[in-house]
Structure 1
Amino acid sequence: MFAFSIPASAFSDSKEEEEPELLTESAIVVDKSSGLTLFEKNAEQEMYPASLTKMATAIYAIENADLDEKVTVSENARSVEGTRVYLEEGEEVSLEKLVQGLLINSGNDAGVAIAEHLSGSEESFAEDLNEYLEQEVGLEDTNFTNPHGLHDEDHVTTAADLAKLTRYALKDPDFKEYFGAEELDWKGESWETTILSHHRLLLEDKGLTITGGKTGYVEKSGNTLATSAKEDGMEVIVITLKSDSQDIAYSETEKLLDYTFDTIEAPDIPEMEAFSIKGKERAFFKSSSLLNMVN
């Protein structure tokens, strides 16, 4: 059993505000710059990510291929179920366009086309992706079986891993651009339109400085949401998993952003007290006695 003594400095100059109570099953808030976890609820619980998977597929493609490469769409990619960018069999599309369609319009067909182009099949891509996520990104509790997040019992991750993934990916300027894009003009063989981000807060930005986001939903995962936001020089990443509705996912993301930005300021981050338990860094949040993991 561990015994802890909390230094008085951990509470100095703190703002009194109760931590949010959430209906969402799993959630985490991470400071993008330092990696400090500022809030968590069941952050290491195994969960289904749905289309938040596509963040992993996107950054893997960006880092392991030339975005100018041409991809020939297969019948398998064209016929995948769920959200699509309506690719046609035999259509040639740049890898960059597929990554954009994957992140902005959540195209499952774009995900399959990327996977087949990079690894030959979805199954081989899943093996390559998992190795990359473990060795390059440092994820410990993630196993993906496909590039898009359609449900599979073995397709699992955690809020903590997804926050770490988002933080890693946002270091890449191309990913950051696509993750934060509100719209994209799309011209394909069967579809010509302006596609809009599915992330409601990115489009509405209700007084919050939302810098990017990705949505997800399948029945078993519930609503999943990844969001980045910036205020007064501090940028944070919020992951919410298994919300019962979109309204809950968005309102509780807003609640977490308000709580974080109201409670802590960027200059406070380096002053947090940190120590290690079982090899994982932890820190005292200055406005709370809770222990929060650093990823």
Structure 2
Amino acid sequence: MSKRKWVSGVLALLCMLNLWNGAALGAGPPEIGTHAEAAALIDVQSGRLVYSKRGDRPMRIASLTKIMTAIVAIEEGKLSDVVKVSSRAAGKEGSSLYLKAGQEMNLKHMLYGLMLRSGNDAATAIAEHVGGSVEGFAVMMNRKAEQIGMEHSNFSNPSGLDEGEHFSTANDMAKLAAYSLKNPSFQEIVQTKMIKVPNPNDSWEYTWFNKNKMLSLFEGSDGVKTGYTKLAKRCLVSSATRSGQQFAVVTLNDGDDWADHAKLLNWGYENYPLVSLVERGKSAEGTNFVAAADFTYPLLKEEKERISRITELYPPESLEARLGERGKLVLKLGDTVIGAVPLVDAGSPRLKAADKSAFGFQASESGISRWNEMNVVFRKVLKAMLSP
């Protein structure tokens, strides 16, 4: 046998062994491609990014910006507020609801126009009402981005019109979508296909149809927002729910976004189904305590074997113990903490709570730190209340 043939044979054998080992150990999900310049797929409940393509590349996001505009307005304003349209808002370029200067509309209806028809006039009116000015509202948008953990984003306006310092990434927008979709008012608005809204200027009502074709193209689709400018090209965030699991997809600069979103959503459901890791009321191994909440997490088949559970018990004199918590069950995927569930006595009143997931937390890339910050504040307040 020639030296060349011998080397070729060895290389072929090594390739076969690598392929076999990859299959045996679990080499990850099958590859999937898109036409997008950047893309991301996130499990909404857990916040786990299960797919990312150039996910941290800062890019223009066009009207996907209005997802941030809507959630800030919902959280910081009142849906029953009456919003008065300024001349600046009425004259805003781009997609429009054709609002007139001086016109009044409640914030909820204006949010429908913002998200279904992508009205830039509505975006400006909302920003001026909630933030005092467009500039003041941009400060609120960036504050919210920091809270959510959007580390590569900056917002300069509420509409998404191209500006030099207005950008985000596929990963950041996925985090924003997951955060926003947990708000019932936001979810209600973005899943609406059509709505009629009173028109104070004419005898006929506004009739707004949602520009998001995914609501009709993909079974279970329930959001979120389209976007386009000449510089950003086609941008889309969509979401869908099947069997209690909700995914959100982001594509930036994608000429075939409807097809790519359907493909990515199906890929997510096929490869990362929700897996039950903890059942409410079940005993924690090695203790007399039970889990106070259910806990599920999106996992590849081969990842189930990498899940570990660590029981941490609290001292009897601790604040947690005084509040009825005996400890917590920490869940890890490999070396990464993915969440925790409080442990309580078997007869604890907390097991009778209506919301079965109220006491657990899912850990995403930024979720642990946010949960800890909230937990610290919560416990300081309770400590003050319980102190003699």
- State the TM-score, normalized to the length of structure 2: 0.64
Structure-1 residue corresponding to 2:298: 269
SS of 2:225's equivalent in the other structure is: strand
**Is the 8 Å Cα contact of residues 232 and 266 (structure 1) preserved in structure 2?**
no
Gaps (5+ residues) in structure 2?
Answer: 1-20, 276-296, 307-332, 339-363, 367-388
Match of 1:146 among 157, 162, 179: 157
Superposed counterparts of 1:182-197, under 5 Å: 182-188=193-199, 189=201, 192-197=205-210
Deviation at 1:210, TM superposition (A): 0.5
Q: Where does the alignment leave 5 or more consecutive residues of structure 1 unmatched? A: 1-5, 282-292
- State whether structure 2 residue 37 is matched by structure 1 residue 55: no
Residue 222 (str. 1) matches residue 233 (str. 2): yes
Structure 2 counterpart of 1:66: 78
- TM-score, structure 1 as length reference: 0.84
Give 1 or 2 for the bigger CA radius of gyration.
2
Counterpart residue identity of residue 141, structure 2: L
- Whether contact under 8 Å (1:125, 1:147) holds in the other structure is yes
1:202 aligns with 2:231: no
CA distance, structure 2, for counterparts of residue 163 and residue 265 of structure 1: 18
Alignment of 1:80-91 (within 5 A): 80-91=92-103
Counting aligned pairs with the same residue, the percent is 34
Q: Calculate the aligned-residue CA RMSD, in Å.
A: 2.4
Runs of 4+ off more than 4 Å: 6-10
C-alpha distance 10-169 of structure 1, shift in aligned 2 (>3 A): farther
Q: Paired residue for 1:287? A: none
Deviation of 1:237 after TM superposition, in Å, equals: 0.8
Of 175, 181, 184, the residue aligned with 1:170 is: 181
Q: Compute the displacement of 1:209 (Å).
A: 1.2
AA of the residue aligned to 2:206: T
Tell me how far 1:7 sits from its aligned partner.
11
Partners of 1:126 and 1:216 lie apart in 2 by 19
Written as runs of structure 1 = structure 2, the 5 A alignment for 1:83-102 is 83-102=95-114
Quote the Cα distance in structure 2 between the aligned partners of 1:185 and 1:133: 32
Q: CA 1:67–1:233 in 2, change beyond 3 Å: closer, same or farther?
A: closer
Look up the equivalent residue of 2:43 and give its one-letter code.
D
Contact 2:44 2:179 in 1 (8 A): no
Aligned residues: 267
Structure 1 residues 82 and 31, CA gap change in structure 2 (3 angstroms): same
